[in-house]
A and B are shown apart, each in its own frame.
Chain A
């Protein structure tokens, strides 16, 4: 049994906007959500002068949609998942179909789970000598977001949380896709959520010497993947969720079909805990293409993992060249992390949503602030401005993680 699987709903919250429409408009205009952190961000949390920092944070008050005791129970990671999940379900009309809704699964990826709840518990205990808050465990646990999605949206199918660092949500979407394709499930809410802009997390990443400093003249330009003068990763936060279902049930419900899931490949580098591997990444791309029954020539756009570390950008460039061969230089590539930051476990889902919205809007999203290319990065990077009026029929989205987990998704237009 190999059924066709389609996307019927999409929900997003990130630094570029609190819903899919705002996210899409920001991508189409090249607006960046990267900003210098407020000078008070680290206040009281580090000794000595507060370091400066840069991140793609969610503006406005995402907490405003939740109240009182909910704020104790719902870590920001769960709030983001609920906002994006609700939007995706509303768009697909899933909640008004009690049968389909009731059987639907939740497949979500997160790298750091309830990071701010963990930090608060440690601050209470080690800083104040107080007991952690009574709901600390429940708000910090990695599967809290998946649990709240099922409870609030009535989704009673399998409920899974994947945690494989920066590949987490690509894996979640891929596994949901395969479960539906082979008939184990008819419908799933799949994606990822991350709320990692937390002082302790930021400092820990900085200790690894991979975070970009604030750009001296333009904070929004701090993340510059593939540039010769790139300075490192800028973290971001948010969530992206998709409703996936088999095409027959989607057509039976009469819900608009946004895209088709075409391929998924996952591999392990099996060589180093952080260093990426051309071989591991290339094998994941080959696997996704084989899964989709496609050739590299069928791919119109690649959304790169592109974190703006030298080793990562060069490795991915080499892997794309190995897989795409003579087509490599003719295939547009970009890293949208330049504008929405690196959402770690939610990156794959947000970037799949970026591909989806770009396909529907007929544009190629840009690696904004791309300066002179790293000489070892010599592909057709969409740089500094989106390419408008360019159709995408099929796209590839790459996610490569610490730990050596690689996941590649391929999606495209739905055609009967």
Chain B
């Protein structure tokens, strides 16, 4: 499962909606994820994937694409860390 699929699946779990319902949405707000729900989702992703979002990233995450890109970058950094 790639990062994009992972973040949508976790979002669907937190919102208790079918994952398919989130497929059409890219904006987190359109998917019903407000700023608080986004923080909740990010913490769930951090725990599931053992990564940590830098504070400065949070402001810029507005969509599932943003989230997936950040997750991919953080996973890559984790794997290349000494």
Residue from B13, B15, B16, B40 in contact with A134 in the complex, judged by beta carbons closer than 8 Å: B40
Please report the number of residue pairs spanning A and B whose Cβ atoms sit closer than 8 angstroms.
23
CB distance from B21 to the nearest CB of A (A): 13
Interface flag for A327 (CB, 8 Å): no
| 8 A Cβ contacts from B16-68 to A | 16, 36-37, 39-43
Interface flag for B73 (CB, 8 Å): no
Interface size class of B (residues with CB under 8 A): 10 to 19
Interface size class of A (residues with CB under 8 A): under 10
| 8 A Cβ contacts from A65-101 to B | 67-69, 72-73
CA distance A134 to B45 in the complex (A): 13
Interface flag for A133 (CB, 8 Å): yes
Residue from B13, B36, B39, B42 in contact with A68 in the complex, judged by beta carbons closer than 8 Å: B13
**Closest partner residue, chain B, to A67 (CB atom):** B16
For the residues of B in contact with A, the DSSP-based class is helix
CA distance A138 to B14 in the complex (A): 17
CA distance A305 to B43 in the complex (A): 44
Residues of B within 8 A of A68 (CB): 13-16
Residues of A within 8 A of B14 (CB): 68-69
Q: A135 and B40: CB pair below 8 A?
A: yes
Interface residues of chain A, those whose CB is within 8 Å of chain B, are 67-69, 72-73, 133-135, 138
Inter-chain pairs besides A69-B37, A69-B40, A73-B40, 10 sampled, C-beta below 8 Å: A67-B16, A69-B14, A69-B15, A69-B41, A133-B43, A134-B36, A134-B39, A134-B42, A135-B36, A138-B36
Interface residues of chain B, those whose CB is within 8 Å of chain A, are 13-16, 36-37, 39-43
